[in-house]
Chain A
Amino acid sequence: AQKVTQAQTEISVVEKEDVTLDCVYETRDTTYYLFWYKQPPSGELVFLIRRNSFDEQNEISGRYSWNFQKSTSSFNFTITASQVVDSAVYFCALSEREAAGNKLTFGGGTRVLVKP
C-alpha cells in the first residue's frame, strides 16, 4: 500500500532563514507521481509541484526547490530566504499509476511558522 510520511509536524524559523521539509514515501509501483501542496490559513490547498518517478532532476522555482531522491524514496522541499507569507501547512502527496479513482495519498503535513 502507498504511504507518505512527513516526520516534521511543525517547524519554526525566523524570516530569511532557509527551511527544508522532509517527505518519505512508500510504493510498490514503478510509475508514480509526487506532489507538494501549500495550505495557508485560508484553508485552500495550493498545488506547488508535480514530479513523476522517472524524472529525478531537481527543480527550482524562485525561492522554492525540490530534491527528489529515488534511492531513498524521498522528495524534500526547501524554502530559501523564508518570508512571513510562507507560513502555512505543507503537504506531500503520492499517486500511483495503478491507483483507482485518481487516488492521492497525503502525508500528515508540516506546519511552517516564519517569524518576522
Chain B
Amino acid sequence: ETGVTQTPRHLVMGMTNKKSLKCEQHLGHNAMYWYKQSAKKPLELMFVYNFKEQTENNSVPSRFSPECPNSSHLFLHLHTLQPEDSALYLCASSQDGVQQPQHFGDGTRLSIL
C-alpha cells in the first residue's frame, strides 16, 4: 500500500460523541499535517508535526486533539464537536522543508448532528 490513507472516509457523530480520525503514510515522510476544508472557505491548516513533534497549532479549539505516535501515523481525536465543525478533514505528509510538496489523503467527510 502506498500514499496517504485516511480512515474512515465518512463519519457522522453527535455533539457529545468521542471519535478519532486516522491517517497513515507509506511514503517515508517525516512531516504530517491536518487540514480542515469547509464549504466556500479556503483550506485551513490545523496542525503540523515534524519528526513526531508538533510544530504548528493554528489556533485550533481544544475539542480537536492531535496525536502523532510515530512518523507514519497521525490521529485527530474529536470530542464535543459543534455543527460548524462539519467539514472535510484532510491529512497530508511531506519530507521536512518548505520546498517539499505535500501529499494528501482522500479525506474524512465529517458531519456533526
Contacts and interface: CB of A to CB of B under 8 A. Distances in A.
B45 A104 contact: yes
A103 interface: yes
B50 A102 contact: yes
Per DSSP, chain A at the interface is mixed
Contacts of B55: 100-102
A103 B55 CA distance: 10
B101 interface: yes
Contact of A104 (B102, B105, B107): B102
Given A101-B48, A102-B50, A103-B56, A47 B109 contact: no
B67 interface: no
22 contacts: A37-B104, A42-B106, A43-B90, A43-B106, A43-B109, A44-B107, A45-B90, A45-B92, A45-B102, A47-B101, A47-B102, A50-B99, A95-B99, A96-B98, A101-B48, A101-B56, A102-B48, A102-B55, A102-B102, A104-B102, A106-B42, A109-B43
Interface of B: 31, 33, 41-43, 45, 48, 50, 55-56, 88, 90, 92, 94, 96-107, 109
Given A97-B98, A102-B31, 4 more contacts: A101-B56, A102-B94, A102-B98, A103-B98
